[in-house]
Amino acid sequence: MKMWAQAQPNIALVKYWGKRDLARNLPAVGSLSITLDALYSRMSVDFLENPGSDELLLNGESNTAMLPRVSMCIDRIAGNDRSAARIQSEFNFPVAAGLASSASAFAALVLATYEASGQTADTLTMARIAGSVSGSAARSFYGGFVELTAGSKDIDVESIADPEDWPLKVVVAVTETGPKRLSSGEAMIRSGKTSPFYSSWVERQADDLAMAREAVEKRDFEQLAVVSEHNCLKMHSVMWTSRPPIVYWNNATLACMETVRDLQKRSEPVFFTIDAGPQLKAVCLPSAEETVRDGLSQTDGVVTTYTSGLGYGARVSEQL
Ligand code: PMV
């Protein structure tokens, strides 16, 4: 029977931006995210009898763009002298467009590779391997609210609240479906080297993490909103002040921010966050979900919206 591994994207409320150790891909800062339930990546790995090169199918079509990182990730588990692999992947949302597809993809890939090679490992070990390829992928091994700590030797990741403990909703406003202009990996290296705001970003991250963690513990939506928007805008300020500047937003991203501001003025419990791409993610209490989705879908330049609750970490399932 064919086994598939499934993982969901996660959206950081306190962001990972910057690398402390390039060779090991260790983050310069901790981060706190929510795992989504409506979007998914599914991966299946088959090791072939015959030698040859790896093959990656993305939604049924051959893909070479992601293949080098996919092969490197499989090597880290199965070794460099392994046989070639055929990797099948399915996504129900646009890939490499700032919707955290690499987070869910590499979490699912690590799990699928363990399955295919008959090895086992605990969740943290697998999360660390996924994180060594895509930092945010470590968080997709866990569900609900997830905190990643940038330890001195390696990362630590844990779920600090389950999805049902505080069932927030997320409305993703897609403003562009094409791939992002610059990968987040390259962009954060540039920020670390050139933005005059970078060191203060790193220094203050512990305060934002503490405030967000406390907000989750107390289920204090207002506090989570304030710290999340602030942290997001700080990360983008670091990007904008990098040389050359890194600007992922478009006009519709700004229009979506205005929509969220208008909703807040009408006392709707909602806040925004934006990652390395032009899509806006609005996080809200369930009571505001419909209003937020309607507001964002009617905003100029929004191509489509996705609505999601909070979901669980990476897992194995039979068949698609
Ligand atoms: O994990 P990466 O290399 O795709 O970087 C993720 C960076 C952000 O999405 C912008 C922030 C985050 O914490 O997810």
- What's the CA-to-centroid distance between 16 and ligand 1, angstroms? 6
Q: How confident is the model at residue 187, as a pLDDT?
A: 97
Q: What is the pLDDT of residue 33?
A: 98
pLDDT at 216 over 60: yes
113-153 per-position pLDDT tens digit: 999 999 999 999 999 999 999 999 999 999 999 999 998 88
Residue of 13, 14, 136 with the most ligand 1 atoms within 8 Å of its CB, for mutation: 136
From the CA of 136, how far away is ligand 1's center (Å)?
5
201 Cα to the center of ligand 1, angstroms = 15
Assess whether the previous peptide bond of 286 is cis (omega < 30° from 0).
Answer: no
**Residue 11 Cα, ligand 1 centroid: separation in angstroms?**
8
Ligand 1: nearest atom to the Cα of 31? 13
pTM (2 d.p.):
0.96
Least confident of 7-21, 55-69, 172-186, 214-228: 172-186
Neighbouring-strand partners of residue 148: 31, 157
Q: Which has the higher per-residue pLDDT, 60 or 51? A: 60
pLDDT classification of 50: cutoffs 50, 70, 90? confident
Compute the distance from residue 18 Cα to the ligand 1 centre, in Å.
Answer: 9
Does position 190 have pLDDT exceeding 60, yes or no?
yes
CA of 135 to the centre of ligand 1 (A): 7
Provide mean pLDDT across the span 278-294. Answer: 97
Residue 253 has pLDDT above 90, yes or no: yes
Which of 23-32, 50-59, 231-240 shows the lowest mean pLDDT across its residues? 50-59
Whose C-alpha lies nearest to ligand 1, atom 8? 275
What does the pLDDT read at residue 320? Answer: 55
- How far does the centroid of ligand 1 lie from the alpha carbon of residue 112, in Å? 22
Q: Which of the listed residues 184, 191, 242, 283 should we mutate to test ligand 1's pocket, taking the one with most ligand atoms within 8 A of CB?
A: 184
Q: Compute, in angstroms, the gap from residue 185 CA to the centroid of ligand 1.
A: 8
CA–centroid distance, residue 103 to ligand 1 (Å): 8
What is the pLDDT confidence band of residue 178, given thresholds at 50, 70 and 90? confident
Please give all residues whose beta carbon lies within 6 A of any atom in ligand 1, as ranges: 12, 15-17, 31, 102-103, 134-136, 184-185, 275-276
Of all atoms in ligand 1, which is nearest to the CA of residue 135?
1
Mean pLDDT, the chain, integer = 95
Ligand 1 closest atom vs CA 136 = 1
Residue 172 is predicted with a pLDDT of 95
Mutate to test the pocket of ligand 1, among 13, 15, 149 (most ligand atoms within 8 A of CB): 15
Ligand 1 closest atom vs CA 33? 13
> What is the percentage of the chain residues whose pLDDT exceeds 70?
98
> Ligand 1: which atom is nearest the Cα of residue 11?
14
